[in-house]
Structure 1
């Protein structure tokens, strides 16, 4: 059963501006996300996609990003696609809501990054 669906977009140029402020990436993203994004033009798109994923997760659960907290999850990439890695505390919150699986899809094109999250439970 679907427990929630969330979608979000993030302007890549706006993310570039945020990244130009010292320490922004370190406050918002995990070391693994920073490593994946790298540097240069593509970095802002990767960061924007990870940020949109957090927002989409917050919307899917009806929590709001401030309620989740920036350290509750990170977006990891693998050969099978992007996925969340959750903190233990946030994983418990998902279990309390009956969420068994979390699906994530991200994309970036034409100056915008987007993410969709689906929460599935029994």
Structure 2
């Protein structure tokens, strides 16, 4: 059962200007393992995190470092969740997070679907 959907788009040039103007944003938004990437990749990861936040319905318990964008064994984007966010997801019965990301023509985008098997027949 789908319990949440989120989508976000980021203007890559605008995002890059922001991280150049305020370098501390990179440390604030991304875990150390995510930081050594080109601006288009960071923008897509930011869009992914924003999409997850939207799928959950808001920012109340979200910590940026508790949601890292990683690759699964097949090279597909995935989230590695930790701390209070991971606990919140378990409490909501969310069993799987589907993530799709892209960047092209100056735009980075991401789409998240939250899935739960609770109540499934």
What range describes the TM-score normalised by the shorter chain of this pair?
0.7 to 0.9
Separation in 1, partners of 2:83, 2:27? 21
Please identify, of 104-113 and 88-97, the stretch whose mean Cα deviation from structure 2 is larger: 88-97
Aligned to 1:40: none
Cα distance in 1 for residues equivalent to 2:9 and 2:110: 6
Q: TM-score, normalised by structure 1?
A: 0.87
Distance 1:22 1:93 in 2: 30
- For these two proteins, the number of residue pairs brought into alignment is 115
Structure 1 or 2: more helix by fraction: 1
1:71 to 57, 62, 65: 65
Matched, 1:119 2:114: yes
Query: What are structure 2's unaligned runs of at least 5 residues?
Result: none
How far does the alpha carbon of each residue in 1:18-63 deviate from its partner, in whole angstroms, 9 at most, with x for none? 110232211211111113x1xxxxx110010000001100111112
Partner residue in 2 for 1:23:
24
SS at match of 1:63: coil
| Cα distance in 1, alignment partners of residues 102 and 23 from structure 2 | 26
1:53 to 48, 52, 75: 48
What TM-score, normalized by structure 2, do the two folds share? 0.88
Moved over 4 A (4+): none
Q: What do you get for the CA RMSD once the two structures are aligned? A: 1.3
